[in-house]
Amino acid sequence: EAIQPAIDLAIEAGIPVISYDRLIEDDRTFYITFDNVCVGRLIASIVRQAQPEGNFVILKGDPSDANVGFLRQGMEDVIGAAVAGGTITIVGEANADGWSPQSAFTAMEKILADNNNAVDAVLAQNDGIAGAVIEALEAQGMSIPVGGQDGDPAALNRVARGTQTVSVWKNNRELGKAAGKVAGLLADGVAPDRVPDAIRFTGGDKGLTYTAILLNPTPITKDNLDLVIKADQITRADACAGALPDVAGCN
C-alpha cells in the first residue's frame, strides 16, 4: 500500500515495474518469486512423511504478507483430506506478527499448554518460526517433526542435528538472476507475456491476475544437505556441527 503512489508514477512514465519476492497487489507489475504454494506443499509433505497422522500445529507468518496465504494453501493441499478424514487434527494455528520468532515462541507455548503437550508435528512457515517452535518444544523435553523454509544457516544445522525435519531452500542467487534477466527484457520493450517462462498467476487479497515467474524451491533434509554446502549457502563446518552420523555432506 505504501509503495502504490510510486507504482502509479512509474507506470504513468512508461517504466516497467517488477514486484520482487513480495506481491505488490497491482496487476500492472511483473511478479517474480519462488512458488510459495509449492513451498507449503513441500513443508507439509515431508513432515507428513515423518508423521503421517496425529495432532498438528500450523504457525504462520505475518497476516499482512500475501505469502502467508500461499504457504497455507500449499499445506492445505497436502493435509486437507487427512484433516477432513480425521487422521490429522489441527490442534493449534496462529500467526507470528512481523514473522517474529518471539511471537511464534509465545504462540507455541500457549498451544502446548492448551493441549497438555499432545502435539505430534508442526508446520512452520519459515525457519525463524521453526527455530522458536523447537526452542519451545525442547523446554518441554519434546522432539517431534518440524518443517520450515528459507535455508537459514541455523535451520540447516538443525536439519543436520535432527531437530528440524526440513528447510525448504529458495536459492536467492537464482531469483536475482531471473529478476535481472526479466528487467533487461522489459526495459528493451518485450511485452510481459512474451517473457520466457512467464505464466499468469492469480492470488493475493484482491484476487488479481499477474504476469509472473515462479521458481521451483528445493527441500533440504538430512539426505541432501550436501546441496547447500556445494552451493556455498553454508560452510560444511557450520552445517555439520553436531550432525547425526548419516547426514549427506557431513560424513
Tens-digit pLDDT profile for residues 38-48: 999 999 999 99
d(CA 110, CA 54): 19
Q: What is the mean pLDDT of residues 73-95?
A: 98
Angle between helix axes 66-85 and 36-50 (nearest 10 degrees) is 40
179 pLDDT exceeds 90?
yes
Please tell me the predicted confidence (pLDDT) of residue 10: 97
Residue 84: strand, helix, or coil:
helix
Do 31 and 20 touch, CB atoms closer than 8 A?
A: no
Please tell me the predicted confidence (pLDDT) of residue 60: 98
Whose CA is closest to 14, among 189, 178, 198?
A: 189
126 pLDDT exceeds 90?
yes
Binning pLDDT at 50, 70 and 90, where does residue 234 land?
Answer: very high
Enclosing H/E stretch for 201: strand 199-203
Please tell me the predicted confidence (pLDDT) of residue 66: 85
Count of CB atoms within 10 A of residue 120's CB? 19
Tell me the three cell numbers of residue 245. Answer: 552420523
Angle between helix axes 101-114 and 127-139 (nearest 10 degrees) is 40
The mean pLDDT of the chain is: 96
Please tell me the predicted confidence (pLDDT) of residue 103: 97
Please tell me the predicted confidence (pLDDT) of residue 141: 98
Whose CA is closest to 171, among 105, 93, 228?
A: 228
- What's the pTM value of the predicted model, to 2 decimals? 0.90
